[in-house]
């Protein structure tokens, strides 16, 4: 049995074969810390009426201070770009996993729900050491594989957009790439010195 986000027990708008479940214009969320049996909330573009607890179609004129392009459900979303990571060369690629959660109950949102609401996830490179360029394959996927990383620090940003191109929420993950033993960068004069020493050794050993 799902719990309601309104404590009105009027079930007149529930069909007989659907009792104990969410009512008309409601969607059922999975069990979580807030409600162990699940949770019912109004569907996209519907709001809860305080007089009878039913979900009715939202009217924009009733909400003059709210942007018409952003729904109340979308404002409840947040994205997570994952934990900061460190890798060491010669490993030069890394997997990034993004997640979208409900702020209200911290449960993860199925990506199909985002598609149904015309919402888009997009990864991008926000900053990098020496402005290094990184080619991100399929940046509109929650999971991406970033390749050809070089020594330095990178920041990758995950954003959630609506169909108007408005950023609803975003998060940043930091990646540090350390040099390996064979990837120590030396000044040019030291490289020249070691090259001469190596040539001297080769000729003197003959």
Omega before residue 91 within 30° of 0, cis: no
* pLDDT classification of 68: cutoffs 50, 70, 90: very low
Cα–chain center distance at 106: 13
Give residue-wise pLDDT tens across range 91-131.
Answer: 999 999 999 999 888 899 888 888 888 999 999 999 999 88
* Sign of CA pseudo-dihedral 131, 137, 139, 143: negative
Residue 114 belongs to what H/E stretch?
A: helix 111-116
88 backbone dihedrals φ, ψ, rounded to 5°: -125, 130
**Global model pTM greater than 0.85:** no
Neighbouring CB atoms inside 10 A of 191's CB total 11
The pLDDT assigned to 16 comes to 44
Cα distances (Å, whole numbers) of residue 197 to 190, 194, 205, 206: 11, 5, 12, 15
CATH number of 74-183: 2.60.40.10
Domain boundaries, the chain: 3-62, 74-183
Give residue-wise pLDDT tens across range 72-91.
Answer: 456 789 999 999 999 999 99
* pLDDT classification of 64: cutoffs 50, 70, 90: very low
């Amino acid at each position: 049995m799902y719990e309601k986000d309104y404590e009105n027990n009027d079930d007149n708008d529930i069909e007989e074969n659907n009792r104990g479940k969410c009512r008309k214009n409601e969607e059922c969320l999975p069990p979580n810390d807030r409600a162990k049996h699940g949770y019912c909330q109004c569907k996209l573009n519907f709001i809860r009426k305080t007089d009878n607890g039913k979900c009715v179609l939202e009217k924009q004129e009733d909400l003059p201070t709210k942007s018409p392009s952003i729904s109340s459900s979308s404002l409840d979303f947040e994205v997570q770009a994952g934990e900061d990571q460190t890798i060491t060369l010669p490993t030069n690629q890394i997997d990034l996993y993004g997640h979208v959660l409900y702020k209200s109950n911290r449960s993860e949102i199925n990506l199909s729900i985002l598609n149904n609401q015309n919402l888009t996830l997009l990864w991008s490179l926000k900053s990098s050491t020496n402005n290094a360029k990184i080619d991100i394959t399929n940046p509109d996927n929650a999971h991406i594989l970033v390749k050809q990383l070089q020594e330095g620090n990178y920041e990758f940003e995950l954003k959630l957009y609506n169909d108007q191109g408005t950023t609803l929420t975003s998060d940043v993950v930091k990646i540090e790439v350390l040099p390996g033993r064979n990837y120590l960068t030396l000044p040019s004069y030291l490289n020249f010195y070691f090259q001469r020493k190596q040539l001297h050794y080769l000729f003197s050993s003959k």
